[in-house]
Structure 1
Amino acid sequence: MGNNFLPNCRNLTSIDTRELSNVTSIGNRFLRYCKKLVSIDIQGLSNIVSIGNGFLEGCGSLASFDTKELSNVRSIRNGFLSNCSNLTSIDTRGLSNVIYIESDFLSNCDKLIFIDTRGLSNVTFIGNDFLQMCNNLVSFDTQGLSNVDFIGNGFLSYCDNLTSIDTQGLSNVASIGNGFLQGCSNLVSFDTQGLSNVASIGSDFFSYCINLTSLDARGLANITLIGDYFLYNCKNLTFIDTRGLPPRALILLTSKKCCC
């Protein structure tokens, strides 16, 4: 299926995909900005292998999405469900064969409160702004991301109400881009134990985390590169636990460019 299947159909409220059972690929802007769409029956998409840009981007009336019929999908391009302003939850278990997720997977989903990552267990690459500006997300469990080795920019940036993130599922990640938790203003503490294989971190990892008071940095033992402004404007930071870190990691963490 090519691009622009039904974009900007602003009065469309539902769609039944059962007649699309022979389709194996979806191009760009499948149902992009169908602002009144409240439900989509994806039974007909069970043979889809790849999904292009803007699959359901900007579908502002969609409250939930079940991926169970997308079990053959291997790659997802930009803007899968970005700007779905009423989306509160997504069950990712149908995405169990996806290995590649490009940018803006769920960015700007203001009402998202929960995402079960267990269905993303085969993903190795996550692009930019995975959950950027999901302002009602309070916690995030990474357990389903155990095969991810690369994370782009802005992973959870500007998730204003985020108070906790379990990093244990990120144990295979080697590289993290800019702004991983930038602007998460309600984050109070952070444990890096799950980041034990990370070698490089881009700039602004914690910048503008204004309520961050403590950082357990012991998980960064293998770090070789940290970008500028690692802890920029973390004005309430009072404690960094660096016990057991090798000299190389200590120098990087205490260098002027990483200072708050």
Structure 2
Amino acid sequence: MDKRIDFNCDLGEGCGDDAAIVPSISSASIACGGHAGDEATMRATLRLCRAHGVAAGAHPSFEDRAHFGRRALALPPAEIAAAVRRQLARLAAVANEEGVRLAHVKPHGALYNLAADDRAVADAIAAAVAGFDPALALYALSGSALAEAGEARGLRVAHEVFAERGYDRRGRLLPRGAPGAVLESLDAAIAQARRLAARGEVVAGDGGLVALRADTLCLHGDRPDAAAFARALRAALDAEGVAVRPFGAAP
């Protein structure tokens, strides 16, 4: 069976060289005003995606720009769903003007991590996506509550893994600031990406192997060396014989 994976990056956040990253990836998750981004950045990123044949998706978050969406807010599920819908509508309006059809939704930061284990939050996000456009795919941490909630709503779910983030023995991301949470070495990130794409497993922080479904591989676009990482990771996947395609695309 041919190996294939989607290679996605979080873009439009105003802190990375998006134009240098886009040629190496197959999907982009675009900040839509919650933690970062405005109409101008959304439009510019959508145009980059259109020019390079990259699938465009929404990257909604807690509406907390001061903390870049990386602080969990104690909100009821209804308010979380409303925030996701607002951000989807904002990006979809610009995408429509640019002639780009959105392909997926991927929560950002604290919202993404909270939805990995909190089923009420996961259900709120899945309901918001399904109610907005059931054709949208939902990107969720592999094996998480969000993946289960999306599948329960009948959404196409891409189980997501990370090239340069560390994992615990449950297959959850190590909290930022914890030892090993971010892989700073390009060689380490390439080795992890190869293992995930080819074997569906990752070495956890305690040294054990964790099996993970890997439909899409993420690189964070806000790291200062993201463009170099993107080029190197894409070259490694190509060398490994892994076909890089947008999630759900025909072979």
- Indicate whether the TM-score tops 0.5: no
Larger Rg computed on CA atoms: 1
TM-score (norm 1): 0.28
Would you tell me which structure has more helix in proportion to its own residues?
2
Relative contact order higher in (CA < 8 Å, ≥ 6 apart): 2
